[in-house]
């Protein structure tokens, strides 16, 4: 459903600026070209959205031009999708696209590879180019992708606002006897109804299934007194939301209330530790310190936090860098992260509050406000428009 409040999709001018940034990094790294596969980086730089398969379809970014590579029978379709202009090089089914790619490079130049290319494509390229001529372009593409523009942030804000409203509606819709799969279908329908791309994923967990960070394998039926954990998201112009809410269908026990409150403190501590130029690991340390002070953990021990505190987000739901021990990437304006220091009590229940924030020149700013309370988790949610 179209909405006048939806932000504009990423435009041609922004994609051209991205290519200029990539070319500058290519020059610094001594690369003659960068090869993009059917990945989110292809979408980021060119606007082409292509389902990956065994057939190569992508683009070669040269210092002075852009060339697309596609199966010949897909030429007309690819021509409709490209943003920045460039020649489209095609190959027939009996031909080798990797020889075609190798033939477009200057002698002895290095080719930087999209870090999301599958292994079999790398091996095919290695038959055509010596290993010394192949390099990892991941650090280059990530250096650009991890700092979001105002347009990207606006798209994610819309996606997250939609998902938060879907969460609120799901909370209101719950009834005893509902299956997890029924709630997941409802959430997908509501995402579509509000203008999202449906649910890009949806975890609906009841009872002890909530102690499994990514949910159980069954289709549990909701019962009075069950703790409920729902983790879901959608996309706007390819940019992702990813929000988790945890509450109780009925009256929470004293222990659940305690853990819910500690989780909220840990999430707040992680947010407060997200300071410009601080390492990405700082929020993770801050969240774990809160848990340690309450007798949980330490480290990854349970009851406690079994995974990283957060991940980057953009065109991929999970992007580098991460809010995780060992990631010392400095926090910069434009970076976007989840904040989800889940607490797991094995075999009993789990509590995860997941909201996202982005870094500004003045520090972190929430996309969505954290849950208000275990009894009224959406009391502070803005009116959706």
The CATH number of whichever domain residue 104 belongs to comes to 3.40.350.10
Residue 1 resides in a domain:
no
Higher pLDDT, residue 6 or 293: 293
Mean pLDDT calculated for residue range 231-246: 98
Same domain? For 263 and 297 the reply is yes
Same domain? For 171 and 287 the reply is yes
Pick from 117, 109, 110: which is nearest to 69 by CA? Answer: 117
What is the pTM (predicted TM-score) of this model?
0.96
Same domain? For 229 and 192 the reply is yes
230 in helix, strand or coil?
strand
Answer whether 48's CB lies under 8 Å from 78's CB: yes
Q: What is the DSSP string of 264-329?
A: HHHHHHHHHH--TTSBTTHHHHHHHHHHHHTT--STT-SSB--S-SEEE-SSSSSEEEEESTT--P
Residue 76 resides in a domain:
yes
Residue 61 confidence (pLDDT) = 98
Tens digit of pLDDT for each residue in 271-323? 999 999 999 999 999 999 999 999 999 999 999 999 999 999 999 999 999 99
Same domain? For 200 and 336 the reply is yes
Domain end point (choices 92, 120, 145): 145
Residue 204 resides in a domain:
yes
Dist CA 356 CA 371 (whole Å): 12
Domain end point (choices 145, 179, 210): 145
Tens digit of pLDDT for each residue in 66-121? 999 999 999 999 999 999 999 999 999 999 999 999 999 999 999 999 999 999 99
Residue 4 confidence (pLDDT) = 66
Residue 3 confidence (pLDDT) = 62
Summary mean pLDDT of the chain: 97
Domain limits at 119?
12-145
Residue 6 reports pLDDT greater than 90: no
Same domain? For 134 and 228 the reply is no
Residue 1 confidence (pLDDT) = 44
Same domain? For 135 and 163 the reply is no
Same domain? For 214 and 79 the reply is no
DSSP tag of 384: P
Residue 5 confidence (pLDDT) = 75
Same domain? For 265 and 158 the reply is yes
Mean pLDDT calculated for residue range 125-148: 97
Residue 318 resides in a domain:
yes
Tokens representing residue 259 in the block = 């853990």
Residue 127 resides in a domain:
yes
Same domain? For 251 and 104 the reply is no
Q: How many other CB atoms are found less than 10 A from the CB of residue 375? A: 12
Mean pLDDT calculated for residue range 367-377: 97
Residue 327 confidence (pLDDT) = 98
Q: What is the CATH number of the domain that holds 258?
A: 3.90.230.10
Residue 313 resides in a domain:
yes
Residue 44 resides in a domain:
yes
Q: Are strands 111-113 and 33-36 parallel, antiparallel or unpaired?
A: parallel
Same domain? For 178 and 326 the reply is yes
Structure-token match 């690991």, residue found: 281
With bands split at pLDDT 50, 70 and 90, how would you rate the model's confidence at 383? confident
Residue 2 confidence (pLDDT) = 47
Residue 158 reports pLDDT greater than 70: yes
**Cα separations (Å) of 216 from 173, 208, 343?**
21, 9, 16
H/E element holding 150? Answer: helix 150-173
pLDDT more than 90, % of the chain: 97
Residue 228 resides in a domain:
yes
Residue 243 reports pLDDT greater than 50: yes
Pick from 86, 44, 79: which is nearest to 61 by CA? Answer: 86
Same domain? For 206 and 342 the reply is yes
Mean pLDDT calculated for residue range 36-56: 98
Same domain? For 117 and 195 the reply is no
Give the count of domains, the chain. Answer: 2
């Amino acid at each position: 459903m179209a909405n006048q409040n939806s932000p504009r999709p990423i435009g041609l001018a922004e994609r051209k600026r991205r290519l200029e940034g990539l070319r500058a990094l290519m020059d610094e790294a001594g690369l003659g070209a960068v090869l993009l596969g059917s990945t989110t980086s292809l979408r980021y730089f060119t606007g082409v959205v292509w389902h990956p398969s065994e057939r190569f379809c992508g683009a070669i970014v040269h210092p002075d031009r852009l060339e697309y590579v596609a199966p010949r029978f897909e030429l007309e379709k690819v021509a409709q999708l490209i943003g920045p202009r460039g020649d489209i090089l095609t190959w027939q089914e009996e031909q080798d696209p990797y020889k075609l790619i190798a033939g477009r490079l200057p002698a002895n130049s290095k080719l930087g590879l999209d870090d999301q290319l599958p292994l079999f494509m790398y091996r095919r390229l290695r038959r055509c180019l010596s290993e010394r001529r192949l390099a990892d372009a991941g650090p280059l593409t990530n250096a650009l992708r991890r700092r979001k523009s105002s347009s990207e942030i606006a798209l994610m804000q819309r996606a997250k606002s939609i998902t938060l409203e879907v969460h609120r509606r799901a909370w209101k819709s719950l009834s005893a006897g509902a299956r997890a799969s029924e709630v997941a279908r409802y959430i997908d329908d509501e995402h579509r109804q509000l203008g999202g791309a449906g649910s890009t994923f949806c975890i609906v967990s009841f009872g002890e299934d909530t102690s499994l960070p990514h949910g159980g394998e069954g289709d549990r039926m909701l019962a009075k007194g069950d703790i409920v954990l729902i983790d879901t998201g959608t996309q706007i112009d390819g940019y992702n939301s990813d929000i988790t809410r945890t509450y109780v269908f009925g009256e929470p026990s004293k222990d659940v209330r305690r853990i819910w409150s500690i989780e909220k403190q840990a999430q707040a501590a992680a947010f407060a530790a997200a300071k410009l130029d601080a390492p990405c690991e700082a929020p993770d340390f801050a969240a774990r310190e809160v848990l340690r002070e309450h007798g949980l953990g330490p480290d990854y021990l349970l009851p406690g936090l079994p995974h990283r505190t957060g991940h980057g987000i953009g065109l991929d739901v999970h992007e580098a860098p991460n809010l995780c021990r060992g990631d010392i990437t400095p926090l910069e304006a434009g970076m976007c992260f989840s904040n989800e220091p889940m607490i797991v009590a094995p075999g009993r229940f789990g509590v995860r509050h997941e909201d996202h924030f982005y870094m500004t020149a003045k520090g972190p700013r929430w996309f969505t406000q954290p849950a208000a309370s275990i009894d009224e988790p959406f009391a502070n949610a803005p009116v959706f428009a």
